[in-house]
Structure 1
Amino acid sequence: MAGDELVIGADGRARPRWAAHDPLLRDYYDHEWGAPVTDERGLFERLCLEGFQSGLSWATILRKRPAFRRAFDDFDVDRVAAYGSADVDRLLGDEGIVRNRRKIGAAVTNAHATRGLREHGGLPGLVWSFRPPARPRPVSTAEIPTRTPESAALAAALRAAGFVFVGPTTVYAMMQAIGMVDDRLEGAAGLLGTDA
């Protein structure tokens, strides 16, 4: 039951365990996770950060997000697409971010792919075209998938468009974060301070 998986905070609001104790995660859950993101820069940032998160905790990425934004020119697609080997070396030396050559390279590759989509409806058009039908909110974490047919299809479409580091699980995490699916547990506090 969701009641067993929710934690009541000092403010009286019910949150899932992952967002109940760490103030940074709690704020992210309350004010950002699940809020619709429909602009190119915002989607590019989420896609990059989900790729950097692979194998790490989301809390690690969230703590480093200000440094990521500085290092990657606030995820400006055109600027990141223009990065060359000197920029990659600069990023590999930046202790504020995750210094993984493949993930840094993926961000640059994905900036090129994002630019390529502009002639075909753009990244927002592609991503949101895979929005699944609404479904009842889960009552337990066991009901929350880690991937879905839609996330697998979106991952395949992104790879076909030249993106990398976009597997179905990574893509599903992005779908949750950008509000394409609502995986807040039944009875959990809603977005931006509202109750479910």
Structure 2
Amino acid sequence: MTSKKRPTWAEQNDKMREYYDHYWGFPLHNDHQLFELFSLEIFQAGLSWNGVWQKRAALRRAFADFQINRVAAMDHDDFLRLMRNRSIIRNQRKILATIHNAQAAQQIKRQRRIGFAEYCWQLVDNIPQPSPVGEGEDLPPQTVLSKRVSQQLHRDGFSGVGPVVAMSFLCASGMIDVRQQKNSKKC
């Protein structure tokens, strides 16, 4: 049996190995999957991806499986319920950003008649962008592209997405081609 060569961050535990082998850097084109990943990346800000990924199932339950319409409909009572939920990351700004971003995604759909996935891929000209570094080099926390994407997201009403979160989202969703980065650090 041949073992896969994974970067150090992906060797922390079985969940991280599974994430690297089956999720990280593979292009996503589904509204639901992209919104979930987008939201999880916001929850990661200031935390480890391992910790967020460990709470993925609880976050899915708490946020109606990240169904955009259901999250967008969450109200103050839902917010209070989420703030009391000990199984998730109870950060007020991140919870509010997730609800707000679902509403922003709905607004994009109404105004532009495109789904969240199509909107996201338009941010990178509808093709995976080349990695900003060579094989074995560490990915930077942000790039010119992630700054541009973050600014556009803010202009379009999204919150909680600075250039570092945008970079992580772009890498994880396959919008930046990181699968060639055999030993790179997670964006």
Provide TM-score, normalisation by structure 1. Answer: 0.84
**Does 2:45 align with 1:54?**
yes
Whole-Å separation in 2 of the counterparts to 1:135 and 1:62: 23
1:138 aligns with 2:134: yes
Per the TM alignment, residue 99 of structure 1 is displaced from its structure 2 partner at its CA by: 0.3
How does 1:37-52 map onto structure 2 within 5 Å?
Answer: 37-52=28-43
Partner of 2:3, secondary structure, is coil
- Say which SS state the counterpart of residue 29 (structure 2) adopts: coil
Alignment of 1:112-191 (within 5 A): 112-118=103-109, 119-120=111-112, 121-131=114-124, 133-135=129-131, 138-142=134-138, 144-184=139-179, 186-187=181-182
For 2:167 and 2:46, locate their aligned partners in 1 and report how far apart those are by CA, in whole Å: 15
Q: Please report how far the alpha carbon of residue 186 of structure 1 lies from its aligned counterpart in structure 2 after TM superposition.
A: 4.9
Distance 1:48 1:12 in 2: 31
1:56-103 superposed Cα distances (whole Å, 9 cap, x missing partner): 100000000000000000001111111111100100011110001111
Determine if the alignment matches structure 1 residue 68 to structure 2 residue 59: yes
Letter paired with 1:138: G
Q: For 1:96, give the aligned amino acid.
A: S
Aligned residues: 178
- Amino acid in the other structure paired with 2:115: G
CA distance in 2, matches of 1:167, 1:127: 15
| Alpha-carbon spacing, 1:21–1:102, altered in 2? closer, same or farther (3 Å) | closer
Alpha-carbon spacing, 1:107–1:35, altered in 2? closer, same or farther (3 Å)? same
Shift of 1:20: 1.9
* Structure 1: runs of 5+ lacking an equivalent: 1-9, 189-196
SS at match of 2:6: strand
**Residue in 1 that maps onto 2:71:** 80
The 1-side partners of 2:158 and 2:176 are apart by: 22
